[in-house]
Amino acid sequence: MNKKQNITILGASGSIGQSTLDILRRYPDRFSVFALTAYSQVEKLGDLCMQFSPQYAVINGEENAEKLNKLLKSKGCDTQVLCKEDALSFVATHKDTDMVMAAIVGAAGFVSAFAAAECGKKILLANKETLVMGGELFMRAANTHHAAVLPVDSEHNAVFQTLPESVRHEMANGVFSGSLNDKIASILITASGGSFLHTPLNEFEKITPQMAVKHPKWSMGRKISVDSSTMMNKGLEVIEACRLFMLPADKIEVAIHPQSIIHGMTRYTDGSILAQLGTPDMRVPIAHCLGLPERIASGVAALDFFALDKLTFHRPDLQRFPCLRLAFDALKIGGTMPCILNAANEIAVAAFLDNQIRFTQIAQVIEKTMENMPNTTADNVADLLQIDKNARIAADEIIKKFQAA
């Protein structure tokens, strides 16, 4: 039997982190957990350390680290606790890490995912914001260092499963450098349409954070749930698909498919379309990435075709979902505009969740930030992080103006 795979889970306390650990529990002989990270949930991370005995645990801040250390010592757990700024990158690039689940939410996940790419690690990439803010830089680093980038995002994972064999092989071995474009006609990613697909437009003003974090089909973290309800999530995913699969924007189709059974498809020039179907549960794409090249059990119940009523598809309405239009605009403009879009979205969503702005103002904050920020290029991580920071400041200022008005 092959040697056990050591896995580092960045964002272990989150929704994707939990789903990953749920699968790992089934395969103690196949995987061992090398490091787990969280931001502020000390007790949750403590519980996970007790269950999985990783070598390292990373938490934000000295105070949290001290608390976690005490907790672990009192239970006889000898996991080493880290909290310094470079701790996430340290565990992601450690020589004993074989694969990295990148499941931190937002731009905060970029640096550690990038470090893993530069180190040639196998990366199970859930953190789509990495590809939106700096996809070109990230993919260049991954290719240079032969880091395999396996898509965890369900639509991208679905597309990946339906790609030509040679491309899947290249991607799984970290040697993919853009050979897909002339092999296919297009790819298609589906969208559930979120919670407000049929809500009358004049009621959008009254949408509360509690309403927006409830997703009709998927159980996810708060930020991505709001992104799904504005459909920014699909916008981020179109940019993610362009970067990951190295395809031009006109080769990516989006269809609203409220049943969320087909997740992604590939159209071939002969008229064939290959699709991936499954119950909407993130353990399916996670198990696919973990098991490659084999298939392993995800714990998800088999899809019952006879319980399905119908599968429907329609075009997204860009008036109803201006965030999706803004993402298409950012992609067309290129340069650092996707990074600006992503940063402004994170600030706007956080302000909405904090009841500082209305649901309809999320798109307005992003649009104004995009208008106010110059579009440039970023050839290195330091420049990219500076643009991300500037866009956050610009978005904050716009929110303050909205509040003052």
Give the tokens for residue 176.
């993919």
Residue 103 binds to ligand NDP (criterion: CB under 6 A): yes
Assign 101 to helix, strand or coil. strand
Q: How far is the CB of 337 from Mg ion (least distance, A)?
A: 21
**Distance, CA of 249 to CA of 241 (rounded, Å):** 9
Q: How far is the CB of 153 from Mg ion (least distance, A)?
A: 4
Closest CA to 179 of 154, 143, 145, 151: 143
Partner that binds at residue 372, options ligand NDP, Mg ion, none, CB closer than 5 to 8 Å by kind: none
Q: How far is the CB of 49 from ligand NDP (least distance, A)?
A: 13
| Binding flags for ligand NDP, 351-370, as an x/- string (CB under 6 A) | --------------------
Partner that binds at residue 104, options Mg ion, ligand NDP, none, CB closer than 5 to 8 Å by kind: ligand NDP
Residue 118 binds to Mg ion (criterion: CB under 5 A): no
Specify the stretch interacting with Mg ion by CB under 5 A; choose among 104-112, 150-158, 161-169, 211-219.
150-158
Site size with Mg ion, rule: CB under 5 A: 3
Q: 17 Cβ partners below 8 Å, 6+ apart?
A: 9, 11, 36, 38, 101, 103
Specify the stretch interacting with ligand NDP by CB under 6 A; choose among 9-17, 70-78, 160-168, 330-338.
9-17
Residue 13: count of CB within 10 angstroms of its CB: 22
- Given the DSSP bridges, would you call strands 273-277 and 5-10 parallel, antiparallel or unpaired? unpaired
Q: Between vectors from CA 151 to CA 238 and to CA 224, what angle results, nearest 5°?
A: 60
Interaction residues for ligand NDP, span 271-310 (CB under 6 A): 282
**Distance, CA of 344 to CA of 352 (rounded, Å):** 12
Site size with ligand NDP, rule: CB under 6 A: 27
Nearest residue to ligand NDP, scored by beta-carbon proximity: 14
Q: How far is the CB of 13 from ligand NDP (least distance, A)?
A: 4
Residue 15 binds to ligand NDP (criterion: CB under 6 A): yes
Residue number, 7 or 368, with CB nearest to ligand NDP: 7
| Binding flags for ligand NDP, 194-223, as an x/- string (CB under 6 A) | ------------------------x-xxxx
Q: How far is the CB of 2 from ligand NDP (least distance, A)?
A: 28
Do 393 and 348 form a contact (C-beta atoms < 8 A)?
no
Element spanning 248, H or E:
none
Residue 99 binds to ligand NDP (criterion: CB under 6 A): no
**Distance, CA of 385 to CA of 400 (rounded, Å):** 23
Assign 302 to helix, strand or coil. coil
195-200 own/partner pairs: CB under 8 Å, 24+ apart = 195/228, 195/229, 196/229, 197/256, 197/258
Residue 153 binds to Mg ion (criterion: CB under 5 A): yes
Q: How far is the CB of 237 from ligand NDP (least distance, A)?
A: 9
**Distance, CA of 70 to CA of 180 (rounded, Å):** 51
Residue number, 118 or 153, with CB nearest to ligand NDP: 153
Q: Among 92, 119, 129, 230, which residue interacts with ligand NDP (rule: CB under 6 A)?
A: 129
Q: Among 28, 40, 181, 208, which residue interacts with ligand NDP (rule: CB under 6 A)?
A: 40
Count, in order, helices (H) and strands (E) of the chain. 16, 11
Partner that binds at residue 11, options Mg ion, ligand NDP, none, CB closer than 5 to 8 Å by kind: ligand NDP
Do 127 and 243 form a contact (C-beta atoms < 8 A)?
no
The region, left, alpha or beta by phi > 0 then psi within -120 to 50, assigned to residue 267 is beta
Q: Among 108, 255, 333, 381, which residue interacts with ligand NDP (rule: CB under 6 A)?
A: 108
Residue number, 263 or 267, with CB nearest to ligand NDP: 263
Do 362 and 345 form a contact (C-beta atoms < 8 A)?
yes
Residue number, 57 or 256, with CB nearest to ligand NDP: 57
Q: How far is the CB of 358 from ligand NDP (least distance, A)?
A: 22
Do 131 and 242 form a contact (C-beta atoms < 8 A)?
no
Task: Catalog residues that contact ligand NDP under the rule CB under 6 A.
Answer: 11-17, 38-41, 103-105, 108, 126-129, 153, 218, 220-224, 282
Question: What does the binding site for Mg ion look like in residue numbers (CB under 5 A)?
Answer: 153-155
